[in-house]
Structure 1
């Protein structure tokens, strides 16, 4: 995909109802995309100014094949945004967010994800950038299945919810259930796309 035409949505996935099967398929697809286009995160960062202008933005530290956010975090910091990272401090509860800037030290949280140190200020994000396995243009998001972001979205309904992903993770339609909370948009290596569904 490097420098080429973006991948078409994986339309066949819209027929999959079982989320376990869908997650397995999309984990493999994301891993493939990461290997095909190692520069995708740099191109995505070039579109940082296209995101809604807010004061506090929650970013994340990429794990495995998640689209790396280092370049985007630096770009947002240069645009004057206050950054924070999610922290899991209790199972089955919403995450909290601690203020953080690129280069500051991190420690592992309750689930082993890099997070700001305990002394960092707790803040409330205006915009939450979230990793995902798949997304559709109606704001549907398929996560890892732990529910951490869904619980957090529910606890912070005023925060904008924006996915960060490879464009090749777009699918034609995701199964959406009552507890699922839609995204306001998605940022990929080809730009920012607002969700077309009225929220």
Structure 2
């Protein structure tokens, strides 16, 4: 059941978060992506067997391509999401070394339809905003919510964002799974019982 008051509050926060992200100077974006990459590899534990779900940046999202390149160069298994329908979970396709990427809607790129699928151990999540409790404000389509609900295991959820995307508080509904950590150009913040 949808709580209309919460949805209205989230819609207002999305407008605010979009504006904050769009206002960031272009010159600072590459530096931020570089810093986020450094913080990610220094502070997020990875083992060789981990499958990492990443994303291909759209619009003015933080560019995680430097993380993707480094994961691929180290032979880490990487999956990229594909939207296959408005009410469907994301299709997580393995990006194999040397395989081409194709237009996958919304300005993203992804492996071909025949690529293998895999369930990730770590999910790098794009977002519009986050708060100090680890609540993630997405775009409102529910794709990650549906995808996480169908997984047989709970992966570590790592948000990637600019520090300017932090909001005071985001209402959290039952289906909103909190982040385990957020990585910004300012560093890494862990959430939850082990934080």
TM range (shorter): 0.7 to 0.9
Alpha-carbon offset, residue 111 of structure 1: 5.3
Distance 1:172 1:154, change over 3 A: same
- The size of the alignment, in residue pairs, is 184
User: Are positions 1:118 and 2:113 aligned together?
Assistant: yes
Deviation track 1:39-73 (CA, whole Å, cap 9, x = no partner) reads 21011111232213241101100000100011111
State how 1:39-78 maps to structure 2 within 5 Å: 39-49=31-41, 50-54=43-47, 55-78=50-73
Does structure 1 conserve the Cα–Cα contact (< 8 Å) formed by 2:14 and 2:139? yes
Alpha-carbon offset, residue 77 of structure 1: 2.9
User: Are positions 1:142 and 2:134 aligned together?
Assistant: no
In structure 1, the partner of 2:176 is 180
In structure 1, the partner of 2:4 is none
TM-score (normalizing by structure 1) = 0.82
TM-score (normalizing by structure 2) = 0.84
- Alignment RMSD, CA only? 2.4
In structure 2, the partner of 1:190 is 186
Which 5+ residue runs of structure 2 have no aligned equivalent?
1-6
Aligned mates of 1:84, 1:172 — CA distance in 2: 32
Which 5+ residue runs of structure 1 have no aligned equivalent?
1-15
Aligned mates of 1:115, 1:196 — CA distance in 2: 31
Deviation track 1:62-96 (CA, whole Å, cap 9, x = no partner) reads 00010001111122334442111011223312112
Does structure 1 conserve the Cα–Cα contact (< 8 Å) formed by 2:57 and 2:108? no
Alpha-carbon offset, residue 28 of structure 1: 0.9
